[in-house]
């Protein structure tokens, strides 16, 4: 199921595969260790703090601030049709960091380090298989949440 | 414990070598190193090969090189830590000598990068980061360093001109190095007119793929003094790591692994940054050299841009850096690069560099980074 995540997937198998289903439902999930409560994003199955192996998904707000960014003009295989694109690294409000494309609500020329953004779940259109990702948008940008579980 | 000395060095020209296999390139460097040190192959106990396997069609490279060098049945092994694979080979050779297992070891860093098609290279380019959370968004090697550059500009006011000045310096020295891929000087204007790669980096902020091989022959102190009348000593080694994922790096304006590795090497050799007479640093991108000035302590944090603007890293400045042209002008055959840096430092400490010679160089340093700082090796060399 994790191969749902991303335009090109290199990583079909992971203990946090459920992340992709939650993203399809409009939810951005981190992980919380069931032993010590450590929250991580990106989510991880094995707690870095206490090494416990049981975790639960916990929903993140998706609010964050831009740490750095770049416009990529020379892209790798599989991204030719979306090049150039601009990626940013953001600090999430709760904890952790996330890397994603900037979306349509933010003009490239307006991107600044330190600006607030909202992570918005996205489903790729025009593909036969399910493909999901997320983009960085203006705070206040809305989206639909569903519940398939 | 014994010191470890460099007794022979050899270096192919870096560039497109459509005429040779990787083992043939390795042999060129090996033959030159034996001749340089007047070393008979019979005294070599083992070889260590530094290279990145996914660029070669030949699998298990150490075996095919060992055979071609006619060193069977002596031991060989491969070290791989991305672009720092060559320095990892030096480190394990040093460890095997210090452990008393071997007395004389041939280290060969080598890479044939032009066997791959453009499509194969573009596919590899998509897997340089954390493939689970980052590569799915099309991140690339230049893309990561571009994000470091963007952050460095934001925090410290570093400018695009300062980035380009690193390329100008390294092309200036590359034009005077007969082993270099690019042997032409450039200007800031020319650098900034080149095509964009990942903002703020353009083509002239990036090093180029190349083919090449470099060999060092290392020996325990007593053997080194027998084999060479001017051994150069590998007296300090540092090695550290940082997270694979850029998402787990609190500071995006430097490489924590480089600062850690440098401190280890300085402590082992009993020197400080100010004692370094000449350095080879991993300028895979111009911002990488500016961060290296800071991580190695050649200047204070945030002052790397001013450091190049003041020409402090030219010969005659406080810390001459990459006076062989660096990765930028020499080319970057990834497994060979760390050994190439050591080759240049040995020549500098011998006083053999002609118009590129740093006067009275006694202590030299190499700084070799794997990936985006997931690995860093710093080695310190000293002459008698
Ligand atoms: Zn825990």
Q: Which of B374, B162, B193, B247 is nearest to A87 (CA)?
A: B247
The reported pTM is 0.97
Partner-chain contact A72 B148, CB within 8 Å: no
- pLDDT for res B119: 84
Under the banding of pLDDT at 50, 70 and 90, the label for residue B196 is very high
- pLDDT for res B77: 98
Q: Which of B121, B120, B90, B108 is nearest to B23 (CA)?
A: B108
Tell me how far apart the alpha carbons of residues B246 and B301 are, in angstroms, rounded to a whole number.
Answer: 20
Stretch A82-109: mean pLDDT? 97
User: What is the interface size between A and B, counted as CB pairs within 8 Å?
Assistant: 119
**A84 CA: distance to closest CA in chain B (Å):** 9
pLDDT reading at B55 higher than 70: yes
In chain B, what percentage of residues exceed pLDDT 90? Answer: 95
* C-beta separation of B126 from A77 below 8 A: yes
* C-beta separation of B308 from B169 below 8 A: yes
Stretch A76-105: mean pLDDT? 96
pLDDT reading at A149 higher than 70: no
pLDDT reading at A144 higher than 80: yes
Alpha helices in B228-377 (DSSP H): 256-269, 286-295, 304-309, 326-330, 334-350
- pLDDT for res B115: 87
- pLDDT for res B120: 87
Stretch B99-105: mean pLDDT? 98
Under the banding of pLDDT at 50, 70 and 90, the label for residue A125 is confident
Residue to test with chain B: of A77, A101, A119, most B Cβ within 10 A: A77
pLDDT digits (tens, 9 = 90+) for B151-173: 999 999 999 999 999 999 999 99
Q: What are phi and psi of A128, to 5 degrees?
A: -75, -40
pLDDT reading at B280 higher than 90: yes
Q: What are phi and psi of B61, to 5 degrees?
A: -60, -35
* C-beta separation of A70 from B146 below 8 A: yes
List the catalytic residue out of B332, B353, B367, B376.
B332
The domains spanning B4-116+210-233 and B128-209+235-383 adopt the same CATH topology:
yes
Please report residues of A whose CB lies closer than 8 A to that of B148: 68
Residue of A nearest to B206 (CA): A74
pLDDT digits (tens, 9 = 90+) for A1-27: 999 999 999 999 999 999 999 999 999
Instruction: Decide if domain B4-116+210-233 falls under CATH 3.40.47.10.
Output: yes
Partner-chain contact B137 A5, CB within 8 Å: no
pLDDT digits (tens, 9 = 90+) for A130-142: 999 999 999 999 9
In chain B, what percentage of residues exceed pLDDT 70? Answer: 100
Partner-chain contact B196 A73, CB within 8 Å: yes
Tell me how far apart the alpha carbons of residues B23 and B232 are, in angstroms, rounded to a whole number.
Answer: 27
Stretch B268-280: mean pLDDT? 98
Q: Is B171 a catalytic residue?
A: no
Stretch B214-220: mean pLDDT? 98
Partner-chain contact B252 A67, CB within 8 Å: yes
pLDDT digits (tens, 9 = 90+) for B289-336: 999 999 999 999 999 999 999 999 999 999 999 999 999 999 999 999
Neighbours of ion ligand 1 (CB under 5 A): A 33, 35-36, 38, 47, 49-50, 52
Stretch B83-95: mean pLDDT? 98
**What are chain A's domains?**
2-59 (no CATH), 63-137 (2.40.50)
* C-beta separation of B358 from B319 below 8 A: no
Residue of B nearest to A69 (CA): B147
Under the banding of pLDDT at 50, 70 and 90, the label for residue A36 is very high
Q: Which of B299, B356, B354, B349 is nearest to B323 (CA)?
A: B356
Q: CB-CB: which of A5, A14, A89 is closest to B136? A: A5
Instruction: Decide if domain B128-209+235-383 falls under CATH 3.40.50.10860.
Output: no
Higher pLDDT, A50 or A128: A50
Delimit the domains of chain B by residue range: 4-116+210-233, 128-209+235-383
**CB neighbours (10 Å) of residue B271?**
18
Beta bridge partners of A64: A92, A117
Under the banding of pLDDT at 50, 70 and 90, the label for residue A126 is confident
Tokens at residue A89, please?
């690294």
**A98 CA: distance to closest CA in chain B (Å):** 6
Residue of B nearest to A112 (CA): B154
Distance from chain centroid for Cα B374: 15
* C-beta separation of B34 from B9 below 8 A: no
Q: How far is CA A126 from CA A7, A129, A130, in A?
A: 12, 9, 10
Tell me how far apart the alpha carbons of residues B249 and B171 are, in angstroms, rounded to a whole number.
Answer: 31
- pLDDT for res A127: 80
**A6 CA: distance to closest CA in chain B (Å):** 5
pLDDT reading at A61 higher than 80: yes
Q: Is B110 a catalytic residue?
A: no
Q: 3-state DSSP: chain A helix, strand, coil percent, rounded to 5?
A: 10, 35, 55
Rg over CA atoms, chain B = 19
pLDDT reading at B194 higher than 70: yes
- pLDDT for res B254: 98
pLDDT reading at B193 higher than 80: yes
Partner-chain contact A77 B126, CB within 8 Å: yes
pLDDT reading at B128 higher than 70: yes
A39-40 sheet: strands from edge to edge: A39-40, A29-33, A55-59
């Amino acid at each position: 199921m994790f191969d749902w995540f991303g335009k090109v997937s290199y990583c079909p198998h992971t203990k946090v595969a459920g992340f992709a289903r939650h993203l399809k439902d409009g939810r951005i999930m981190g992980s919380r260790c069931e032993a010590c409560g450590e929250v991580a994003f990106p989510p991880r199955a094995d707690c870095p703090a206490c090494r416990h192996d049981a975790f639960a998904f916990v929903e993140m707000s998706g609010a964050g601030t831009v740490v750095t960014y770049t416009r990529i003009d020379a892209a790798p295989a599989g991204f030719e049709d979306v090049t150039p694109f601009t990626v940013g690294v953001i600090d999430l409000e709760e904890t952790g960091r996330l890397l994603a494309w900037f979306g349509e609500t933010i003009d490239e020329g307006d991107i600044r380090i330190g600006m607030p953004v909202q992570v918005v779940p996205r489903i790729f259109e025009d593909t036969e298989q399910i493909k999901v990702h997320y983009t960085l948008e203006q705070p206040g940008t809305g989206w639909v949440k569903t519940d398939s579980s | 414990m014994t010191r470890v000395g460099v007794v022979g060095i050899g270096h192919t020209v870096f560039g497109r070598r459509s005429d040779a296999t990787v083992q043939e390139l390795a042999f060129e460097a090996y033959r030159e190193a034996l001749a340089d040190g007047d070393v008979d192959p019979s005294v070599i106990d083992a070889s260590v090969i530094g290279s990145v396997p996914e660029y070669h069609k030949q699998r298990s490279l150490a075996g095919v090189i060992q055979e071609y060098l006619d060193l069977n049945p002596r031991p060989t092994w491969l070290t791989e830590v991305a672009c720092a694979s060559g320095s990892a080979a030096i480190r394990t050779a040093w460890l095997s000598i210090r452990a008393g297992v071997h007395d004389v070891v041939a280290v060969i860093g080598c890479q044939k990068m032009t066997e791959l098609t453009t499509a194969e290279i573009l596919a590899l380019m998509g897997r340089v980061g954390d493939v689970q959370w980052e590569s799915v968004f099309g991140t690339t090697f230049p893309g990561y360093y571009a994000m470091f550059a963007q952050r460095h500009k934001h925090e410290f006011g570093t400018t695009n001109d300062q980035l380009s000045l690193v390329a100008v310096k390294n092309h200036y020295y590359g034009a005077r190095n007969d082993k270099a891929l690019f042997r032409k000087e450039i200007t800031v204007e020319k650098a900034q007119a080149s095509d964009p790669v990942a903002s703020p980096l353009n083509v002239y902020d990036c090093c180029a793929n190349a083919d090449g091989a470099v060999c060092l022959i290392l020996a325990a102190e007593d053997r080194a003094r027998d084999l060479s009348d001017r051994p150069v000593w590998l007296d300090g080694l540092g090695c550290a790591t940082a997270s694979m994922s850029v998402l787990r790096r609190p500071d995006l304006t430097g490489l924590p692994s480089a600062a850690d590795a440098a401190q280890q090497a300085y402590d082992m050799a009993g020197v400080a940054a100010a004692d370094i007479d000449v350095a080879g640093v991993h300028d895979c991108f111009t911002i990488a050299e500016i961060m290296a000035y800071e991580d190695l302590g050649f200047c204070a944090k945030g002052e790397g841009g001013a450091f190049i603007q003041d020409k402090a890293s030219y010969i005659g400045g406080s810390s001459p850096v990459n006076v062989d042209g660096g990765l930028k002008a020499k080319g970057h055959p990834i497994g060979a690069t760390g050994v190439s840096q050591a080759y240049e430092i040995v020549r500098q400490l011998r006083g053999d560099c002609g118009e590129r010679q740093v006067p009275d160089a006694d202590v030299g340093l190499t700084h070799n980074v794997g990936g985006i700082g997931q690995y860093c090796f710093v080695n310190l060399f000293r002459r008698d």
